[in-house]
Structure 1
Amino acid sequence: KDGTPIRLILKNGQRIRTLDLTYTGGLRYPRLERVEGTRDRIGDIMTPRRR
């Protein structure tokens, strides 16, 4: 909320770069909501795998 940017240090192979993200509020704990009429993909992902 104070406007201080979040600095990310990204590495891809030998290349390193920084990226500043400015966060000024919004949802702190977003929730996922399924779009009606679509497949329940989160349920599929969260289902334990069989051995």
Structure 2
Amino acid sequence: MRQVEIGVDGGAVKTSVEDWPFNPPFDLHDPQYSAMEIGRDGFETAWQRAHRAPDG
């Protein structure tokens, strides 16, 4: 599982299972997030452009 969060400034942070021991990703089954869902190709493009969150 992977996630990309796009900030209000347009910056993107990518996280994966290794990053979520205490902060799981958003519940993607929650209806409020359904409008934010993108397709596979769009996600892969966003993943490649995003950076890792700084440690700590």
Task: Give the TM-score band, short-chain normalised.
Answer: under 0.3
The structure with higher relative contact order (CA 8 Å, sep 6+) is 2
Choose between structure 1 and 2: higher helix proportion.
Answer: 2
TM-score (norm 2): 0.20
Tell me which structure has the larger Cα radius of gyration: 1
